[in-house]
Amino acid sequence: MTSDPRNVVRRIARGGDAVYGAPLGILMLDARFPRVPGDMGNGETWPFPVRFSIVRSATPEEIVLGDPRAFLPAFVEAARALVAEGVRAITTNCGFLAVLQTELAAAVGVPVLASSLMQVPWVQAMLPPGRRVGIVTISRAALTPAHLAAAGAPADTPIEGTEGGHEFFRVLIRAEKTTLDLDQAERDVVEAALRLMATHPDVGAIVLECTNMPPYAAAVAAATGLPVYDIYSAVTFFMAGLVPRRFHVDARYLVREGED
């Protein structure tokens, strides 16, 4: 017995984009250091598909120690190309790009999360009275009031950096070598967090500015006993709204017709 073709619902797929199934675009700095799982630039970090675009000549040193706003046209161009290919939201590969948040969002017309620092006001709202958010950054000297203001963070937010360490800053910013001692990099980040706490005992949570710090977030949390937020927590929150989870309600929760 064959089914009546008049009762068959035809499935027609809608086109128009170049790429499908990867709604998040990540704008990457132009760098060659190792990117292990947990690093924003490692595809295995993410529990969902992403698309990367490298902004050529925008090196970590230029962005962190220079003026990111000089690279706004290049970031806009790269973001627009990703949107044209089908992504539905944009994020970036450096917390110092907070200063591009407003202009980038206006230019590309889709949601933009320019920096892990955008979490500072969110986290602050969750803390009890008398506690505040502290920031661990790759460079305390380079993180200015303009970066904080762009992220909506208080101007007096406590900050500590890794530039005095032995590995993290030297490899990621100065590009002194293309290998990374992961254990020493972790110590650099953890020690910065401990200095932050020692100087500011009212810190009740930590936001990691640098998008290369998530591999060390668990170690920071263990050493400090504080909640730790990073670009991974920011982007997964971002994506939770972009692609809400569909929950399945199975037969255990249902009644038969007429039983209610």
pLDDT of 260: 62
pLDDT tens-place string over residues 170-186: 999 999 999 999 999 99
Residues 100 and 193 in one domain: no
Q: How many domains does the chain have?
A: 2
Question: Could you tell me if residue 240 is inside a domain?
Answer: no
Q: Is the pLDDT of residue 244 over 80?
A: yes
Whether residue 48 is found in the same domain as residue 62: yes
pLDDT of residue 1: 55
For residues 72 and 178, state if they share a domain. no
136 within 8 A of 213, measured Cβ to Cβ: yes
Query: 61, 84, 115: which is the final residue of a domain?
Result: 115
Distance between CA atoms of residues 168 and 76, nearest Å: 29
pLDDT in tens, 76-102: 999 999 999 999 999 999 999 999 999
Range of the domain at 47: 24-115
Looking at every residue in the chain, the average pLDDT score rounds to: 94
- 124 & 223 share domain: yes
Q: What is the CATH number of the domain that holds 192?
A: 3.40.50.1860
pTM, two decimal places? 0.92
Supply the pLDDT for residue 6.
Answer: 64
CB burial of 208-221 (b: ≥16 within 10 Å; e: otherwise) equals bbbbbbbbbbebbb
Point out the domain boundary residue: 87, 115, 143.
115
